Amino acid sequence: MVPAWLWLLCLCVTQVFPEAQPADLHVEVPENYGGNFPLYLIKLPLPHEKAEGRVVLSGDSDMEAKDPFAVDPDSGFLTVTRALDREEQAEYQLQVTLETEDGHVLWGPQHVIVHVKDENDQVPRFSQTVYRAQLSQGTRPGVPFLFLEASDGDAPGTANSDLRFRILNQAPAQPLPNMFQLEPQLGALALSPEGSTSLDHALEGPYQLLVQVKDMGDQASGHQATATIEISIVENTWVPLEPIHLEENLEVLYPHYIAQAHWSGGDVRYHLDSQPPGPFKVDTEGKLYVTRELDREAQAEFVLQVRAQNSRGEDYTAPLELHVVVMDENDNGPVCLPYGPSVSIPELSPPGTEVTRLSAEDADAPGSPNSYVVYQLLSPEPVEGAEGRLFELDPTSGSVTLGTTPLQAGQNILLQVLATDLAGAEGGLSSTCEIAVTITDINDHAPEFTTSQIGPISLPEDVEPETLVATLMATDADLEPAFRLMDFAIEAGNVEGIFGLDWEPDSGHVQLRLRKNLSYEAAPHHKVVVVVQNVEELVGPGPGPGSTATVTVLVERVIPPPKLDQESYEARIPVSTPAGSLLLTIQPSDPRSRALRFSLVNDSEGWLSIKEFSGEVHTAKSLHGARPGDSYTVLVEAQDADEPGLSTSATLVVHFLKAPPAPTPALALVPARHLCTPRQDYGVLITSEDPDLASGHGPYSFALGPNPTVQRDWRLQTLNGSHAYLTLALHWVEPREHIVPVVVSHNARMWQLLVRVIVCRCNVEGQCMRKVGRMKGMPTKLSAVGILVGTLAAIGFFLILIFTHLALARKKDLDQPADSVPLKPAV
């Protein structure tokens, strides 16, 4: 909206410059004015002060002259000089200026527009005097089949040119006088409702209608004109059309004629509808065409509607229906359904189990051979030589079933099936369908141990509880992890609960462990029977022998290492201690323990000896080099007599003392004993003749004197603390009297016994022959003496016989018991 102040501003401008922008002047003149001329129209607003100029009137460009207008110079009025005709010119545009003689414009130009006001002086006129129309039977009432045209020259939009039509007369007036109706304003001619019902019976001839057109609208007055309409009634050719069968993919020129519809009435326009919309058209003559190839699979049937319409698009009658059926061609092959997830079939399913049902879709006409699909199994192919197949396929239903050849769990098989239409006949289209089949596992395998017998495993009885005895491994041929889970249990051989099992749920390993102490005494061996089974329920036959494993365990007795009664030993002896002196006895701590064998480990000086079984330690020889105050350490080892691996050791420290005043070696002449040679199994018994009678009892130790010959020839065995037994060491000892030195020691005191032993030749009873003679000389020396000796020998023989006999008689009483009874040699 323009604000009010802007309007005010404009008004001011108009008043400030009135001469520059004079407003147009409008003036109206009645057409065909019948009064006096000149007719004064309007007074021009000429300026009074500039009256010395002249007024110039001019028309617009298409106006030849200023006629019929003029300006009265005196009054300044615009005048018209004659009557005006609106139909000749409805409007005049004039310019008025005030100019000087030399053409200088003093005022203006002032525009004046003269309108000629219409008068109804024109008569309406039909476009034709005679109209002809064809009217088809079956035309609906009220649908115009003819449009009358009339014109009126008076001003449009005024009542002077507002026309009305009407029927004045109908001839013949048969069967009804009002067969037709005419729209008054539009001049549209149609059958009247009454006329449409009786049109069929009025075929005789054309109807003639006298029609009128009149102006001034609905007013009674006005100019009018008439015309004639000849209407011929024609037969209805709007007959139903037969359905049309069209081949799909038809290769012809398009558009391709398919049918003809004909409306026999005049002034017809054909209109085509397709349901659903399709490539069809109709031309002006009612010929129907298809404009391009059809595809049955896209649309198999169309319903076309053809309409016959007047120029206003109104249907003359009901539309014609035309069915177009598209005929099938085998232009579609079978299409496999989209490849879905693979089909799962449990293993060991019986033959005949349906795996899947193939369904290839063929878009061609259902029920026709073009869509009749049959199936053929391409893969897997039957195995050479195998009796059955993995799968069977029903060619018509597409049902895939299991064949007789068993499948294995975990197999993934791609089924390839050829689907062919035309029922598999030659020329059919085909495609290959693929379906993945997975054979799923069932728990049909029991777990089994890889080894059924384990061991024997030796375990010391002192191994700690929780010690690993054995690891057993079991396998399960099933694939599914859940079907491979195992439970283990000890079935037998574990009454005491000595053993237990440990395992990880998802491993095939189980550890047999000790839970309690073993005991050799309680059970020297164990047979532990371990069973394995699946956690999941087993399908099919039960577990076999492989589900059991036997572990044999042998218990090793553990013997404690020997233990001595002391951890270390000490002895104090004078440096003068003779060989063979008993120092001490090393003993096991427990007298009931097993037998021990003793040895000295590092007696580098060789001073000592130990009795292998008794553990008595003696001096082995005289202690040369030992000095009083010194000590000598040796290591004593005690081994188990049966298990040499078990041993212990202890140190033995010998402290050397000063030698006591040398004792008078009492060379007591012990009464002579007799022993015969070769050596017999007896000797002489020696007792410790203690010179110090006060010391009384106490263990004495005996040793042979240090003379090597004596050591070689004789052997001395200690019987107990007071007696020893002297025997021949060699098989043969020279028969003569021998003085055998025997050293007796006791509490660091020692003395010597000189044991006289007469060695003789043994007689048949193993006794001495009492052939005692001084046979000191060697026989070789005697041989030099020769015959003298022989003579003397004869004499000696007799003497010896006599002596022997005497000695035997005397000795028999003395010596007989000496061989078996101990003899106490006198000091």
Ligand X SMILES: *[C@@H]1O[C@H](CO)[C@@H](O)[C@H](O)[C@H]1NC(C)=O
Residue window 158-197: x/- pattern of binding to ligand X, with contact defined by CB under 6 A: ----------------------------------------
Site of tokens 């004993």 = 673
719 binds ligand X (CB under 6 A): yes
Gyration radius (Cα) of the chain, Å: 81
How remote is the C-alpha of 50 from its chain's centroid?
A: 113
604 or 780: whose CB is closer to ligand X? 604
822 binds ligand X (CB under 6 A): yes
CA distance linking residue 95 with residue 78, whole number of Å: 11
Q: How many residues does the chain have?
A: 827
18 or 721: whose CB is closer to ligand X? 721
635 or 792: whose CB is closer to ligand X? 635
515 or 594: whose CB is closer to ligand X? 515
Burial of 139 (0-12, 13-18, 19+ CB in 10 A): buried
Burial of 431 (0-12, 13-18, 19+ CB in 10 A): middle
The count of residues interacting with ligand X (CB under 6 A) is: 14
- Tell me how far, at minimum, the Cβ of 511 lies from ligand X, in Å: 20
DSSP per position, 698-752: S--EEEE-S-HHHHHHEEEEE-SSSEEEEEESSS---SSEEEEEEEEEETTEEEE
Positions 598 through 657 that interact with ligand X (CB under 6 A) = 602, 604, 633-635, 651
- Tell me how far, at minimum, the Cβ of 803 lies from ligand X, in Å: 33
**Strand-pair category, 320-327 with 244-247:** parallel
720 binds ligand X (CB under 6 A): yes
Site of tokens 């323990």 = 593
Which structure tokens are listed for 477? 């041929």
Residue window 412-451: x/- pattern of binding to ligand X, with contact defined by CB under 6 A: ----------------------------------------
- Tell me how far, at minimum, the Cβ of 720 lies from ligand X, in Å: 4
Which one of 70-78, 227-235, 713-721, 790-798 is the stretch in contact with ligand X (CB under 6 A)?
713-721
Which one of 142-150, 196-204, 718-726, 762-770 is the stretch in contact with ligand X (CB under 6 A)?
718-726
634 or 757: whose CB is closer to ligand X? 634
458 binds ligand X (CB under 6 A): no
147 or 725: whose CB is closer to ligand X? 725
Contact of 417 with 435, CB cutoff 8 Å? yes
Which structure tokens are listed for 498? 């000595």
Which structure tokens are listed for 60? 């617009």
44 or 636: whose CB is closer to ligand X? 636
Contact of 745 with 623, CB cutoff 8 Å? no
- Distance from the first to the final alpha carbon of the chain: 175
462 or 692: whose CB is closer to ligand X? 462
Peptide linkage before 588 cis (omega within 30 of 0): no
287 or 723: whose CB is closer to ligand X? 723
36 binds ligand X (CB under 6 A): no
CA distance linking residue 626 with residue 695, whole number of Å: 27
Beta bridge partners of 213: 165, 225
* CA dist list (Å): 517 to 470, 692, 799: 16, 62, 87
Candidates 68, 76, 159, 163; CA nearest to 116 is 68
Which structure tokens are listed for 819? 């061989």
Which one of 37-45, 423-431, 622-630, 717-725 is the stretch in contact with ligand X (CB under 6 A)?
717-725
How remote is the C-alpha of 674 from its chain's centroid?
A: 106
Which one of 354-362, 578-586, 714-722, 753-761 is the stretch in contact with ligand X (CB under 6 A)?
714-722
Residue window 85-124: x/- pattern of binding to ligand X, with contact defined by CB under 6 A: ----------------------------------------
Positions 513 through 532 that interact with ligand X (CB under 6 A) = 517
Q: Which residues are within 8 A (CB) of 543 and not within 5 positions of it... i.e. 6 or more apart?
A: 446, 447, 448, 531, 532, 533
Site of tokens 């007013």 = 219
- Tell me how far, at minimum, the Cβ of 517 lies from ligand X, in Å: 4
775 binds ligand X (CB under 6 A): no
82 or 572: whose CB is closer to ligand X? 572
Candidates 74, 94, 86, 83; CA nearest to 26 is 94
467 binds ligand X (CB under 6 A): no
- Tell me how far, at minimum, the Cβ of 701 lies from ligand X, in Å: 14
Contact of 29 with 117, CB cutoff 8 Å? yes
Q: Which residues are within 8 A (CB) of 338 and not within 5 positions of it... i.e. 6 or more apart?
A: none
CA distance linking residue 419 with residue 372, whole number of Å: 10
- 639: three-class secondary structure by DSSP: strand
635 or 814: whose CB is closer to ligand X? 635
Contact of 290 with 255, CB cutoff 8 Å? yes
- Tell me how far, at minimum, the Cβ of 725 lies from ligand X, in Å: 8
820 binds ligand X (CB under 6 A): no
Positions 590 through 609 that interact with ligand X (CB under 6 A) = 602, 604
- Tell me how far, at minimum, the Cβ of 687 lies from ligand X, in Å: 8
115 or 611: whose CB is closer to ligand X? 611
453 or 602: whose CB is closer to ligand X? 602
For the beta carbon of residue 530, count every other beta carbon within 10 angstroms: 25
545 or 696: whose CB is closer to ligand X? 696
723 binds ligand X (CB under 6 A): yes
481 or 721: whose CB is closer to ligand X? 721
Computed from CA positions of residues 17, 18, 19, 21, in that sequence, does the dihedral angle turn out positive or negative? positive
437 or 634: whose CB is closer to ligand X? 634
- Tell me how far, at minimum, the Cβ of 457 lies from ligand X, in Å: 19
CA distance linking residue 451 with residue 441, whole number of Å: 25
DSSP per position, 327-384: EP-S---EEEPP--SPEEEETTPPTT-EEEE--EEE-SPTTSGGG--EEEEEESPPPT
Candidates 432, 417, 391, 410; CA nearest to 344 is 410
353 or 602: whose CB is closer to ligand X? 602
Calculate ∠ Cα 377-378-381, nearest 5°. Answer: 100
741 or 822: whose CB is closer to ligand X? 822
How remote is the C-alpha of 698 from its chain's centroid?
A: 94
722 binds ligand X (CB under 6 A): yes
For ligand X, the binding residue among 462, 502, 642, 692 (CB under 6 A) is 462
**Strand-pair category, 54-59 with 91-99:** antiparallel
Which structure tokens are listed for 653? 């420290």
Binding residues for ligand X, per CB under 6 A? 462, 517, 602, 604, 633-635, 651, 719-723, 822
